[in-house]
Amino acid sequence: MNIGFIGLGTMGGSMAYNVLKAGHKLTVHDIRREAATPHLEAGATWADSPRRVAGASEIVFTSLPGPTEVEAVALGEDGLLQGMRPGNVYIDLTTNSPALVRRIHAVFAAKGIHVLDGPVSGGPRGAKSRKLAIWVGGDQEVYQQCKPVLDAIGDQPYYVGPIGCGSIAKLVHNCAGYTIQCALAEVFTMGVKAGVEPLALWQAVRQGAQGRRGVFEGLAEHLLPGRFDPPSFALRLARKDVALAVNVGREYDVPMRLANLALEEMTEAINRGWGNLDSRVAMRLQEERAGVEVRASQEALRKVLENE
């Protein structure tokens, strides 16, 4: 298959090389021609503009820094729109704005060109080894047609939903990760300043309930099915634990902004009469503020977990 790839940076360079290794014909472009040297040496063809990449390709991938660059490459002068033909597919692997993705999709659809958003997760090492998740939004039939090429890039391509859904999934993942990172910095500085040696603290907490499972696994137990009774761990007990941690932070002059916010949430939930329900019931407060419920049936969850 004739594949185009634009953006040969830390992530894109490795992903493009894996497309080439899978046996596809590859046309590449980057603002720095030297970034394409290993690809050209391995048999890829250089194109001097996104439009020329598009003209030589059935599927074009972009892996770019952000929305500004994607908009310029897709819609700008000498861009993809000017070179792609009806029936071609444009797949953006960038962590991008869902609104921009949807706008590009509408513009390209008017010319009979398909667009998928497919941001990736796995870092530079995963891009090189093909150990990447690819979260795809767009037409599911188009996704299935492109899956063999996506399989060349990552070992976990996954169809999320209509256009923009891949980008939203990536933003949920990354925002959660960096927020958790801030919380970990907060509680570890508290623990070390209170007298625990850093390595011993890290080794200890890795053996606890949170350390033994993935960050998102607990959602399948209570929030997604909306099942908070019987509790795995009661809210009133969880609130007590967070209050104790905040007190230690206060004792050792460690700022505990996120922990105090969590304590306020839990206190409000207790004042709703939820103290004897599972501790995750406090998440319902955010559902109320957002005006949406985060729910999936237990049967659907069971099928997902059984297929992993």
In the chain, % of residues over pLDDT 70 = 100
Low-confidence ranges of the chain (pLDDT < 50): none
Which residues are part of the catalytic machinery? 170
Answering whether pTM is above 0.95, one says no
pLDDT the model gives residue 62: 98
pLDDT the model gives residue 299: 92
pLDDT the model gives residue 217: 84
Which tens digit of pLDDT belongs to each residue from 247-285?
999 999 999 999 999 999 999 999 999 999 999 999 999
Q: Domains in the chain and their CATH numbers?
A: 2-164 (3.40.50.720), 170-306 (1.10.1040.10)
Q: Among candidates 125, 217, 134, which has minimal Cα distance to 176? A: 217
Please check whether residue 215 is in contact with residue 180, taking contact to mean a CB–CB distance below 8 angstroms.
Answer: yes
**Strand ranges (DSSP E) for the chain?**
2-6, 25-29, 45-46, 59-62, 89-92, 114-117, 120-121, 133-137, 156-161
Q: Report how far residue 196's alpha carbon sits from residue 189's, in angstroms, rounded to the nearest whole number.
A: 10
pLDDT the model gives residue 26: 98
Q: Report how far residue 119's alpha carbon sits from residue 95's, in angstroms, rounded to the nearest whole number.
A: 5
Please check whether residue 93 is in contact with residue 63, taking contact to mean a CB–CB distance below 8 angstroms.
Answer: yes
pLDDT the model gives residue 11: 97
Neighbours of 225 (CB within 10 A): 17
